[in-house]
Amino acid sequence: MLARSGPEAAISFSGIRVDLGGRAILQDVSLDVKPGEFICVMGPSGCGKTTLLRVVAGLVQASAGTVSLAGKPITGPTREVSVVFQDYGRALLPWRDASGNVALALEAAGMPRSEQKPVIERLLEKVGLKDHAAKFPSQLSGGMQQRLQIARCLAQDPKVLLMDEPFGALDAMTRQQLQDEVLALAAERNTTVFFVTHDLEEALYLGDRVVALLPNPGRIARLVDVPLAHPRNQLTTREHPDFLRLRRELFDMMQESH
């Protein structure tokens, strides 16, 4: 057995290429995501962010190279990985109330009904929906529906949480609240988060590292460490000189690539 210098990567991409529709969408992507790391993938529309996330979800296969989860090759969807989509409206079941939507994940895991109630209550409380357990998705605001989708994903107790532009459809205030909630939840559970966004500031605010992709074909243009202290703060973090410096650097890089 080979000696390892540190813990095994939670997600490891090694020289992957993804071809779709007869062309290379992603090329030569290599990246190790550490366990418990919050990694943000950003870049312009069409650079392959969602495709990269779908590779981790086991929904798209790499045409070349390898992708593994905690050392095991990804061959399809697994319960260790959960996905939060931008479109919460379609992700939730409209005929089930908030409790019922969270229960879905517990049922899928085979948890007996009698054990589900306290787990559901705790999760809804965690995402601030304790008093809305009996409401149906249509009775909840957009932010609340997204919180519910997050609770349902957490019910699966995933090692890796994939988030695809999860706050893109929310107003600025709600978006900031949810950013802080997800940061706190991920830190508390030591969940590895793979977060896709086209918003550079969101990527820097959330990420321990930011992967900047450029398109045609999608490839890693920059990988930056974000040296900002935790917990992050919507005012002081965003005003920090390191935040402003990195924002400028990545912004310039994106502009130059046009």
Ligand X SMILES: Nc1ncnc2c1ncn2[C@@H]1O[C@H](COP(=O)(O)OP(=O)(O)OP(=O)(O)O)[C@@H](O)[C@H]1O
Point out which residues bind ligand X (CB under 6 A): 20-21, 25, 43, 45-51, 198
> What is the nearest approach in angstroms of ligand X to the Cβ of residue 201?
16
> What is the nearest approach in angstroms of ligand X to the Cβ of residue 198?
5
Q: Which is nearer to ligand X, 47 or 81 (CB)?
A: 47
> What is the nearest approach in angstroms of ligand X to the Cβ of residue 53?
8
d(CA 5, CA 17): 27
Q: Which is nearer to ligand X, 106 or 250 (CB)?
A: 250
End-to-end CA distance of the chain: 47
> What is the nearest approach in angstroms of ligand X to the Cβ of residue 76?
17
> What is the nearest approach in angstroms of ligand X to the Cβ of residue 230?
27
Q: Which is nearer to ligand X, 128 or 215 (CB)?
A: 215
CB 57 within 8 A of CB 18: no
Q: What residue number has its CB nearest to ligand X?
A: 21
Q: Which is nearer to ligand X, 18 or 155 (CB)?
A: 18
* Range list of β-strands (E), the chain: 11-20, 23-33, 38-42, 64-69, 72-73, 81-84, 160-164, 192-197, 209-214, 219-225
Q: Which is nearer to ligand X, 13 or 105 (CB)?
A: 13
* Cα Dmax for the chain: 58
CB 198 within 8 A of CB 116: no
For 74-117, the DSSP string reads P-S--TTEEEE-S-HHHHS-TTS-HHHHHHHHHHHTT--HHHHH
